Amino acid sequence: MRRLSAVLVLTALALAGVAWANGITGSDAPSRIPVPAQIHAATVYDRTGAAVDVTRVTFNGEVFLYGTVGEGTATVPFERLAEARVEPTDDPKKRVVFGVLRDGTNVRLVVDDDLPCYGETSYGYYKIEVGKVARIVFRGAVPRP
Residue with more model confidence, 133 or 38: 133
Phi, psi of 106 (to 5 degrees): -115, 150
pLDDT at 123 over 90: yes
**Sign of the CA dihedral 129, 133, 135, 141?**
negative
pLDDT tens digits, one per residue of 63-97: 999 999 999 999 999 999 999 999 999 999 999 99
Task: Report DSSP state, residue 130.
Answer: G
As beta bridge partners, residue 53 has 43
pLDDT at 24 over 60: no
Task: Report DSSP state, residue 32.
Answer: S
Is the pTM for the entire model greater than 0.85? no
pLDDT at 127 over 80: yes
Residue with more model confidence, 2 or 99: 99
Mean pLDDT to the nearest integer, 30-40 = 75
pLDDT at 2: 60
pLDDT band at 15; cut points 50, 70, 90:
very low
pLDDT at 16 over 50: no
Q: Are 99 and 107 in contact, with CB atoms under 8 Å apart? A: yes
Dist. CA 145–CA 139, nearest whole Å: 17
> H/E/C letters for each residue in 121-140?
CCCCEEEEEHHHEEEEEEEE
pLDDT at 10 over 80: no
pLDDT tens digits, one per residue of 99-108: 999 999 999 9
The C-alpha torsion from 102 through 105 and 109 to 115, rounded to 10°, is 10
